[in-house]
Structure formats: C-alpha cells, structure tokens
Structure 1
C-alpha cells in the first residue's frame, strides 16, 4: 500500500503534490522536491463545515489514552480550533486566522462560518515546518506530549479543520492498525460534515527516554510516521507534512534535504516569540501546558496521606452505604451530601489560592478534611446526587466547584479509584460549561479510562467532540433546579437558608453555597451490599451512575 501524496521541498514555503501510487514513496528519501508543485486535487468549492478532533473522539479521547496503555479511541472534535487557521495549499503559504471562533458553534453555525473568506486583518501567515511545529499547542490548547496528532486541511485555502489525537502505542505491533484507524477516523468524520480533507498534517510528539536523544526518538517513530502517510494516501488524501517534535527540536519526515532539515533537527522557537504566539496572545487564546501537567491535576494521591484517606473512605462506606440502600435514609444522605458540597464550594470560593497549578491544588487539598472528602466521594456515587451537583456549573459557583471536583478525584485513594469517575465527570462538565474544552476532554478521558461504560461521561465526551453547545444541558439543569426548589417550598415554606451539614472536625466551615433544596426523585445506588473492604464498591456497583 503506497501513499498517494509526495510532500515537496521545504525551501521557502510549503508545497504539496499528489502522486499516483509510487513504490518509491514508501521511502521518505524519494520525496518529490519540486519547488513549485501543482495544487493537490481538492473539491471545486470550499467545504461547508470543518471538523476538529482532539484532547483529545470518534474513535476518541484519546486524550483519554495514556501512552503506557494500549491505544484507545482517538479523540475527535467537531468544534472550530482555537485559532481557526487556514492553510492555502497553493500558493504555498500557511495562513492562520486569529479571530476566536464562536464559543460553542453548532453544526449550522460551523457550516456558515466555513464558507466565509477569512478577514485579512484576522490572518497570520505561517511559512514552513518551523511555524507549523510552533503552532501545534495553539491548535490543541495544550502541548500533546506522547501523542500522535493529525490535522485536516480543508478546501482550496487549506483551512485547518478536524484534529485527532492518540497516545503513541508502546507496542509497535499496534502501529499499522492504529494508523489505519486514525486516518479513517479523521477523513470519514470530515466526509460526514461535507468537509473531506484536501490534505493532512501529522505530528509525532514524544520526549526522549533515558539514554535517548531527540534524534533517536525521531528514528524510532519513523515507521509510525510512514504508516500514517501510507494510510492517508490509501484513502486518497495526501500528507502535506509529517513532523517529529522531541527535546525542544523538530524533524521533518517528508524532507530529506539536510540543507533545510538537518539531521540534528531544528530548534523550536522560544516560547512566546513566534508569529503564532503573538497572534494567540492578541486573540486571548490560552495554552494550558502539557497534557501530562493537565493529567497530574487529576491524579490520585499516593503515599502516607493516601492511606489516611483510604481509612476515612472505609469509615464513610460503612456508615453511608447501608443508608443509601434504604428509601427515606437515601433521601437524607442525598440532602447531607449536597449540603456538604455547598459548604465546601463556599469555603473554596472564600479562599482562592495563587501560584502554580501544583501550589493551587495543594492549597485546595488542605481546605477539605479526609472525612469530608470521603463523605462527598461516597455520596456522589448516587446518580441523583451527582446530577444535582452538576447544577453548580456557571456563575460564581463554577470555579470553586471545579476545584472541589478535582480535589475529590485526587482523594479516591487505594481501592476507591473507581469512585473517581463521578468527580472526574463533574470536573469535565464544569470545564466544558465554562468553555474549557481541552480540560474537559482530559477529565472525561480519565473517567472513561476507569469506567468505559459510564454513560454521563460518554455523552459529555461525545457532545464535546461533535462541537455541540452545552447551553441546552445548562438550561435543562436550571429547570431541574427550579422544579426542585418549587417542590421543596411547600414542605418547608419558612426555610430561608440551606441547612448546615453535620459538624465535622477540620477547618471551620462557612455558610454553604446556594444549591437546589431537595432531590427530584430517583433511586439510590442499588441493592448490592458487602462486608468489610468490599463495602467500598457497593455505592457504585448497584447503580454505577451509568445513566
């Protein structure tokens, strides 16, 4: 199987040349070097919509997939990329629009935007592989370490469209299947939206292992790059460029000319100095660090503190799970859990930390005791409670709620790792609701890695990848809140404050944040009970909140 495209020489601007099946094309050294290559064959009219795949998945997250694990579904997103770049395939310029896209474009709005010519004032021209390499974090919203990323170029102007990301499999035997699936995912997703890619750019991002250099990484990943080029060529979509990013340098797999692409690689631009960085800063776009840094904010704690947290979870499971399995007692547990969550959100709001992400997370961890965290983690295993907690999604409650859900995910220590799915999903929901798609994908990907059948996480992840607007779900939750309040008012007409949760040792608790007054109904976590350490799973195994 031979690729149907041959990238051109990298002197000056980038050109692309489709080719017929060519046995020599299997070897990158046989790449076409024509400085003024003709245009690739593209549809006569620009596509009416663009897809974006990413953190992040049609096959997706695959932000969700860690590189140490077998590959999972590739992350695919249909939303506009942050910088909305366009890449003319001929003449050989790379043009990026810095006008931010609509916050959450619907399919119809994406279609109309894609047919408009970009405003000259809103464009940045990217020339050559160096600026393509520098643009990657701005296309994704983070630096996708240990990842393969494919970006679609749509229409005559080569508008950046769909993006798909997957953790690089450690098992090289998986590379052929992974390459075929990624190419099929990106191209078919574009076709479904009448935006079949005219070309594709491939990025392979991985830092050297112990004893390796960046060049060693480039050589080790070369077969994967070639498999990706072959897979795309088999579907009649040329790979315009394939880059390896490692150890602060980049290499091109498509240009064998050492004069423009030296064997030792080309240094990446200093952060904040490139044309794309300047355009992104002007447009208010953010890069949230690396994927590993984002995942670290959700990682479960280990060590002596984890052992203490696990003891608190054991105690909470013994006290709460039997009550969660009984009708009226289950309602009381929901009420207590929401009361406590409201109090914690108020506490987090009153104490906003500063500094690095690690320092802020450490401050958040100190704001909640092991017992409080355990009660919340167990209580959130109830589907109704979790759905009610999702109402803290916007306004002044959103930021402290997100911090709380992240802190709870980190506290699911030892045998309670599966209990992290609920707070991770809530963290993903609040991130998406506040227009932070990359963080939402990371959180939801981790949730689905723990429990692939968790329906709430599945639905949110799919909605993000398809570019849907979260506002309909926000409206639904607001209506749920109003109904719950109206149901609670006849039973407690004199109530003017949210009841305080039972007093526990630890930091003093300010008044709780406003929240829904009572549950809308539903059932508890199920009917399964176990003794001893097995009880810790009962809260999730009965219902597992998979609705």
Structure 2
C-alpha cells in the first residue's frame, strides 16, 4: 500500500487509483485509515452488489473491522441511482461495526459529491470539479514509481500471457524443460534432487530480477517446472515472507506472463500471495484469476482466495510457523460473501 497522507477529499480521490493500481469506475471503494494514513482499500463492482447491497456492505464492514482501521471513507463511482443505495448500506454497516466514517463521496464524471457535507460553500449541489492527475498526490505517486492504469482491464493486461514470438520461444523452452524434468525424476536422485535444487534456483532468479536482469526462456521454463513440486513452491512462499516484496513482484509477474498452460497456477499464486502481503489486493485478485483459470482445483490458490474473501489481514498470513497459509484460520471464516478488488 502506498504511504499516502491525505487531508482533502480531492487528495483522497487522487490517491485511490494509485492504491488500487487503476482508475475505478462503476465501483464502490471503501478506504480504511489508520494512524492518519491510508491503510487498506477494498473495491467491489456496483453490479455485483445491486441485488443485495446490505449483504455486500456488511461483508465490507467486517473486512474493515478485521483490518483494525481507525476510520473509513466510502466512495462510489458511477451514476447516483446505482451508487447511492450501496453507499447508504455501507454507511449503515460501518456504523454497526463502530467504525467512524470520515466521509462518503460519489464520483460521477469529473465531479465529486459528498453525502455528509451540507455546506454549499465547500460542497455545492452540482459537486466539485477535480482532475486527479493534476494533484500533488499524483505527482508524488508517479515520482515513487506508482502506476494508475485507465481501468481494471488494462491492469489485467499487465499479467496477461505473452503472445507472438515470445510465446513461441517459451513453448519451445517449456518442451525442453519438461523433458529435462521427467528425465531428472527418473534419474538416481529422483524428486529429492529436484527439491534440493529448487530453493537455490529461486534465490538466483530473485537476485537476477533484483539487479535489473531477467531469466532466459530456458531458465524461466525450468523454474516454472520446479515450482510444480510443492516443497519448492513452499520454499518460494517462505522467501516471499522474509524478503522485501519489491524483490518478488517483478519475478512472479514476469513468470506469470511467460508460464505455459499447466505451469501457470504455482507462479500466479505466488504473485497473488506477494501482492496480498504488499497490500495490492487488486493485483492479488487478478493473479488468482490466472491461477484458477490454469488449474481450478489448485489448492493453494483456493486457500488464498478464501483468505481474501474472509478478509484475513495479510499480517496474519505472515505470522505463522513455516511456509503455507494458516489453513485453520482460513477455513473457519469462509462463509462470508466474496469481495473482489
């Protein structure tokens, strides 16, 4: 989560796209504030909540409560007829969880409106015009290397499969890696030898990306193959928890794009896990989509999805002995309504 401090509604609205990674539309965004900083944000599509706004709002409030926020801001993006019922439901739900509401806003076109301010001097009936790209927040975010893409679809394209010649090259490299993998499994060391090789190979790949390099096609394909082994994948997850997140996101993003069908689920799940620990819920959600498209029954992807749906804070996923998610904590809390960033 970018370390933003905001004091005005326009500043908050300018920050939200950099928190999510894209400019939201037809959405409800609830931002949690802790220690006067943006701490957490969750986004849902208006259409997904139109039939049961109160149920969706109760789930969002529960997620915010679990994040231990000091207060919240509710922001609806879209026409008033679609936004207002869900904003009202969210306000009621937050009150029910004793979460103070800083403001409730609607963004329609290039104007924003407050549901809580009744002063025409600062909140005129026709709203306030604003340009999120012209604010100091936007300049600071850009300087810090943060990106706000036009919409969620553009964000999804960041981790879409490679195409054209790069795809052909990876297909050929994957064929070679699979042959090598099967040969190694049938060799004298068997799976144990591959498991022993895996963690060091992950470390080397991380170091390569951290210094600005990338893996060759053969290296990328071989790492994707090694990550099919659960002990290797779990060793990679363990590294995610104990090294800065910015060392991992480039590697797992690159591999999620380059991995061939049948090999996507492990790397995309590692990308989702890294993003979730880094407070990038939208990226985590999109990465899980890639993982579950590749293998709908991939256990770790399903477990992480349930953790996100249940609103289990990332800090709880870090605080456990050994690699893997806290299965009991996840399974105890999977009866709530799903939310998507």
When the two structures are superposed, what TM-score results if normalisation uses the length of structure 1? 0.44
Gaps of 5+ in 1: 1-54, 56-80, 84-97, 99-123, 205-217, 353-363, 478-547
Counterpart-to-counterpart distance in 2, 1:286 and 1:316? 35
Deviations 1:336-364, CA, capped at 9 Å, x for gaps = 44454344344434x42xxxxxxxxxxx5
Residue of 61, 80, 83 corresponding to 1:225: 83
Residues 436-480 of structure 1: per-residue CA shift (max 9 Å, x gap): 322xx344323432326544445556388425256534x736xxx
Give the match's secondary structure for 1:392: helix
SS of the residue aligned with 1:368?
A: coil
Cα distance, 1:228 vs structure 2? 0.5
TM (norm. structure 2) is 0.66
Q: CA deviation at 1:376?
A: 1.2
Secondary structure of 1:384 counterpart:
helix
* CA shift digits 1:241-275 (9 cap, x unpaired): 331254xx233275998992548x713255343xx
Task: Tell me the equivalent position of 2:268.
Answer: 424
Q: In the alignment, does 2:56 pair up with 1:182?
A: yes
What pairs with 1:384-399 in structure 2 (closer than 5 Å)? 384-393=231-240, 399=246
Aligned-CA RMSD value: 4.6
Partner of 2:24: 145
Paired position in structure 2 for 1:448: 288
In 2: Cα distance, 1:326 partner to 1:223 partner: 66
Residues 159 and 287, structure 2, Cα contact 8 Å, conserved in 1: no
Partner of 2:148: 289
Judged with a 3 Å threshold, the aligned counterparts in structure 2 of structure 1 residues 392 and 398 are, in CA distance, closer, same or farther, namely: farther
Are residue 314 (structure 1) and residue 192 (structure 2) matched? no
**Residue number among 32, 42, 52 corresponding to 1:164 in the alignment:** 42
2:322 to 473, 476, 485: 476
Indicate conservation of the 8 Å contact 2:57/2:89, yes or no.
yes
Gap change, CA 1:271 and 1:468, over 3 Å in 2: same
Q: 2:124 maps to what in 1?
A: 260
Higher helix fraction (1 or 2):
2
Distance in 2 separating the partners of 1:304 and 1:298: 17
- The structure that has the greater radius of gyration is 1
User: Could you tell me how far apart the structure 1 residues matched to 2:12 and 2:246 are?
Assistant: 34
How many residues in Structure 1 have an aligned counterpart in Structure 2?
304
C-alpha spacing 1:335/1:203, structure 2 compared with 1 (3 Å)? same
Residue equivalent to 1:379: 226
Q: Deviation at 1:397?
A: 8.4
Whole-angstrom CA distance in 2 between matches of 1:338 and 1:153: 38
Residue 476 of structure 1 aligns to a residue whose secondary structure is coil
SS across alignment from 2:134: coil
